Structures are given as structure tokens and as C-alpha cells.
Amino acid sequence: MLARPPIAAFVLLGLLFCRPAWAAQDAEVVAERASAHMKPSEDAEVLQSYSRGSMIRVSDESRQGWYKIHIPGPEGGSYGWIKADDLKPSRLMKDLEAAGIQASTAESEGGTQGNFSLGLYGGMALLFRATELQEYAGLDDESATPIGIGAEVGYRPNSELSLLATYRSHSMSELLNSGEKLELSYSRLGLLVDKVFLTSMDFKVCAALGGGLGLGAEATVGADDAEDSLSADGSPYAEARVSARWYPVRGLALTLSGGYAFFFGDSEFEQELGGKSQVSLSSALVEGGLLLEF
């Protein structure tokens, strides 16, 4: 019997993807003279000055008494920071600031930079049902924890969404009491849609949904001079995950994520002595990584 996917997790992430984004809004300058600075500081370079009554496009991102604003100009303009006391903001912006959060918007870059990203990841998977292959190898365990490494290349059409091409490779090695060992390796290639649903200062929380194709699996059982080599074809899979990102500097993030990859079918390892070992590669995933945005 195939392992059932965590339906509730996929439904929850689906609801997060349906959540509407906060919209950028106009605010009125109430000070006699207001200046937009490059950074949220009065000592930072002044990019633009405004007189009382001017209307400014303001994002929902605020930081310690400053609002991030859009300054029109060539090639999409630029962004600056203006003191909150100099503006008459909407009720929504006041509520967000009082809650201490800044919702991501199409006008707000957050900690990101550019439209492309490159991520390198490492972590582990928890296989809940590797039983038959382990029994063939002489092990009694019902779970296994392959170590994984991988990479992602992403494109961001806006500050909320990313389209990710992902690759993961997992491998494990268990030593048997007899001195022989069981080795298992498999890889997968997929596409994910990643959405930012919460931004606060230099942190972001994202949810991703997608899927792809397992690229096959290999296993060996035995000693170096007498190994049984087993192989299995790949199968389609679906993946859901939630990740947290911290931006110590602009365009560079440290990430921590957890999720689940569900394979639509067991992997059948053909045994040299006849028969098959049915193994589900569906697994819980925990990863850490480095994300570069450019």
C-alpha cells in the first residue's frame, strides 16, 4: 500500500497561495517640507524633496518610523524612505505598523535584489517506509534518513512570486551487523512556485508548491567484494514546503525550510536473486541553505 500524502499540509499551503497581496497606497505629505532618503535615516542621502499636499506612492513596508516609497523615474524609478510623521497614511498602513509587520507588496523589494536567484542547499530526508529494501539487506528499521544536497535557480516576475527550477540528490549508507552495508541514492528534478506571504524587517516567510520527476534510484547491499546492485526507475512527485529567510545583507539570504515530497508510486528495486523490493521515496524534508538574489 502506498503511503498517503499529508493532504492537510498541501491544502494549507494552497490557501496561503490564494491569499491576496497588500496593495501599495497613496499618502499625503503633511509636513511643510519632506525628504525621501536612500536609507531610513536622516543622515542618509536625500533622493527627492516634497512640499505639503504632495501625493506619494507608499508601500506597506515600514521600519522604525519610516515608510518605503516609490520615486517615479526612468526604468521604473527607484525607492526611498520618508519619515512617517511627514505623511498622512491610510488606516491599513497604521494597523500594519502597530502590529510590527510589513506585508510584501508588488511595490516593495524587501531584502531582495534583481529578478534572479541561485540557491545552494543541504539537509536530510526522512523516509517513512524503506522497509522491504532494509529487510532484504538484513535491517529491521522502518525509516531511513538520507542526506541531501541540491541547487535551485529562480526567476522573480515580481517581489512576491518566484519560479524555481530545483535539483536534489539524496544518499545514505547504513552499516550492517555482519560488516556489510546498505547504500541508497536517488535524485529528483522539479519546478516550484514560491510565494512570499510575510515580511518583517530583514526576514521573509515563504511557501512553495510544485512537483517534478524522480530521476531513478540506485542501491547496493553487501561487502565490497560481493555486492548486490539494485536499481529503480523514477516516478513523478509533488512537493510542498515552508521556508524562512534572513537577509544579513541585501541580496543574500540564509534559509531554513521544512516540507514534504510525495512520490506517486513506489520504487521497485529489481533484486539480482529474483523478486522486487518496494520502497516509497516519499519523505519529510528539512534543509538549510544560502540564497543569492541578483
In 3D space, the residue among 270, 173, 180, 165 whose CA is nearest the CA of residue 216 turns out to be 270
CA distance 146 to 133: 14
Q: Which three cell numbers mark 209?
A: 508548491
Q: Could you tell me if residue 136 is left (phi over 0), alpha (psi between -120 and 50 degrees) or otherwise beta?
A: alpha
Closest by CA to 216, choosing from 165, 267, 284, is 267
Domains, the chain: 7-18+112-293 (2.40.160.20), 25-99 (2.30.30.40)
Tell me the per-residue pLDDT of 156-187, one tens digit each, with 9 for 90 and over: 887 678 999 999 999 988 776 666 788 889 99
d(CA 201, CA 40): 12
CA-based radius of gyration for the chain: 25
CA atoms within 13 A on the CB side of 46: 8
What is the reported pLDDT for 10? 57
H or E element at residue 148: strand 147-155
Grid cell digits, residue 207: 511557501
Average pLDDT over residues 104-120: 60
Collapsing DSSP to helix, strand or coil, 133 comes out as helix
Q: Which residues of 4-21 are buried (b: 16+ CB within 10 A; e: fewer)?
A: ebeeebeeebeebeeeeb
For residue 184, what is its C-alpha cell?
541508497
Provide the 10 A C-beta neighbour count for residue 274: 6
Which region among 116-120, 142-146, 264-268 has the lowest average model confidence (pLDDT)? 142-146
Q: What is the pLDDT of residue 22?
A: 40
Report whether 291 contacts 119 (CB < 8 A). Answer: yes
Would you say 174 and 139 are in contact if contact means Cβ atoms under 8 Å apart?
A: yes
How far is residue 11's CA from residue 63's CA, in Å, rounded to a whole number?
A: 33
For the stretch 198-208, pLDDT in tens is: 876 678 899 99
Which of residues 50 and 276 earns the better pLDDT score? 50
pLDDT in tens, 14-26: 555 554 434 457 7
User: Around Cβ 271, how many Cβ atoms within 10 Å?
Assistant: 17
